[in-house]
């Protein structure tokens, strides 16, 4: 099955934008190449000796690196020479990552989580790479952290690659959401899920129930009603899922609907939520909204949050529009 490749698809999309220079197309292609490399590393797993925490030593006597560090280096090295980026921000790096002086710079910024859900790697569950593309502010040659702090509505593109039974790249550049499955034989992403849409209603919720005592009352109320189903006043009974891998939860919601919640909790007063705004909540919210869903902190639309720091955490309630709006109405 050949089908439409990711490269063909994004070039066709580019042709719909007369002013496009093709730079975003090339950047998306470079991201796809990086994700192919990460997919290979993740799927080799134990065979590549990259599982588990540090502790073992390689031949140079260096401490064996965890896969999330290796994938971070993979992504940075696949992107820093391309000439499309002015700087990068990664979950794995405290500071923003400048483009080495010897390479040309471009007009985009990228925020990424190289391997989200990496705690699942050792138990062989799906993990993924999440990325968010912003424009470099005009005339900024050497971007600083402040140049990244743009609300999610400013994203030019966003996507994730889920490394599961199959490797699927999900992408939006503001004209809907499309999914591409990696054909391992040809090494190409092929369009397999055109125009992904999130059903407005669902009977499936995803949350880590062990945190119930830390949630705010509106979330406790909503989840208790889902658990009680028809016995508690809802018009239907609900099912529950929790994979502890955001990319897998969001992919499921894109394929059959659902609501995913990592809400505000009082477990750690210093953290308003667990998930990071710039490279988890914003890209996933852009994708979910582009597929007809909704994404909120419970009190505001996530894409309208003015970021204050590159690693800022936010509460996340996203998925089927009618359920997200119900939770927001309880706040
Ligand atoms: P918990 C993975 O570590 C992650 O950032 C998300 O991908 C996932 O949804 C969440 O944290 C899981 O958190 O507390 O259930 O382990």
For 73-99, write each residue's pLDDT tens digit: 999 999 999 999 999 999 989 899 999
Percent of the chain with pLDDT over 70: 95
CA of 249, closest atom in ligand 1: 9
Residue 38 CA, ligand 1 centroid: distance in Å: 20
Taking CA atoms, 299 is separated from 45, 201, 260, 274, 324, in Å, by 40, 20, 16, 16, 11
Provide residues with CB under 6 Å of ligand 1: 116-117, 119, 208, 244-246, 262, 274-275
What distance in Å separates the CA atoms of residue 37 and residue 167, rounded to the nearest whole number? Answer: 11
Looking at the chain, which runs of residues are DSSP E strands?
A: 85-90, 97-98, 108-116, 127-135, 157-163, 167-172, 178-183, 188-193, 204-206, 239-241, 259-262, 275-276, 294-296, 313-314, 316-319
Q: Provide the pLDDT for residue 60.
A: 37
- Give the domains, in start order, of the chain with CATH numbers: 6-193 (3.30.540.10), 204-330 (3.40.190.80)
**pLDDT surpasses 70 at 56:** no
**pLDDT surpasses 70 at 106:** yes
Residue 84 CA, ligand 1 centroid: distance in Å: 31
> 296-323: per-residue pLDDT in tens?
999 999 999 999 999 999 999 999 999 9
Residue 220 CA, ligand 1 centroid: distance in Å: 19
Residue 129 CA, ligand 1 centroid: distance in Å: 14
Confidence of residue 1 (pLDDT cuts 50, 70, 90): low
CA of 262, closest atom in ligand 1: 9
Task: Of 52-56, 137-141, 284-288, give the lowest mean pLDDT range.
Answer: 52-56
Percent of the chain with pLDDT over 90: 80
What is the DSSP annotation of 276-327? EIIIIIHHHHHHHHHTT-EEE-SSSBGGG---SSTT-EE-EEEESHHHHHHH
CA of 245, closest atom in ligand 1: 7
Q: Provide the pLDDT for residue 63.
A: 45
Residue 207 CA, ligand 1 centroid: distance in Å: 10
């Amino acid at each position: 099955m050949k089908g439409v490749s990711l490269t063909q698809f994004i070039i066709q999309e580019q042709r719909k934008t007369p002013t496009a220079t093709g730079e975003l197309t090339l950047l998306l292609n470079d991201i796809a190449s990086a994700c192919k490399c990460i997919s290979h590393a993740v799927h080799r797993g134990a065979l590549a000796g990259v599982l588990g925490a540090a502790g073992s030593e390689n031949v140079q006597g260096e401490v064996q690196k965890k896969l999330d560090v290796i994938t971070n280096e993979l992504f940075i090295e696949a992107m820093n020479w391309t000439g499309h980026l002015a700087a990068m921000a990664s979950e794995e790096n405290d500071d923003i990552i400048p483009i080495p002086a010897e390479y040309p710079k471009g007009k985009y910024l990228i925020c990424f989580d190289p391997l989200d859900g990496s705690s699942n790697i050792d138990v062989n569950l799906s993990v993924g790479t999440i990325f968010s593309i912003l424009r470099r502010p005009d005339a900024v040659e050497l971007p600083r952290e402040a140049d990244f702090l743009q609300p999610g509505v400013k994203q030019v593109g966003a996507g994730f690659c889920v490394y599961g039974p199959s490797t699927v790249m999900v992408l939006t550049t503001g004209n809907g959401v499309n999914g591409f499955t990696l054909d391992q034989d040809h090494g190409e992403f092929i369009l397999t899920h055109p125009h992904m849409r999130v059903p407005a209603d669902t009977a499936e919720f995803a949350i880590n129930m062990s945190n119930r005592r830390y949630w705010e009352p509106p979330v406790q109320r909503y989840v208790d009603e889902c658990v009680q189903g028809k016995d508690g006043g809802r018009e239907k009974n609900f099912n529950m899922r929790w994979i502890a891998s955001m990319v897998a939860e969001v992919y499921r919601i894109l394929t059959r609907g659902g609501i995913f919640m990592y809400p505000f909790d009082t477990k750690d007063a210093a953290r308003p939520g667990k998930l990071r705004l710039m490279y988890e909540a914003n890209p996933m919210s852009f994708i979910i909204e582009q597929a007809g869903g909704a994404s909120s902190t419970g009190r505001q639309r996530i894409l309208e949050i003015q970021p204050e720091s590159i690693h800022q955490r936010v509460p996340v309630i996203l998925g089927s529009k009618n359920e997200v709006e119900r939770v927001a109405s309880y706040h």
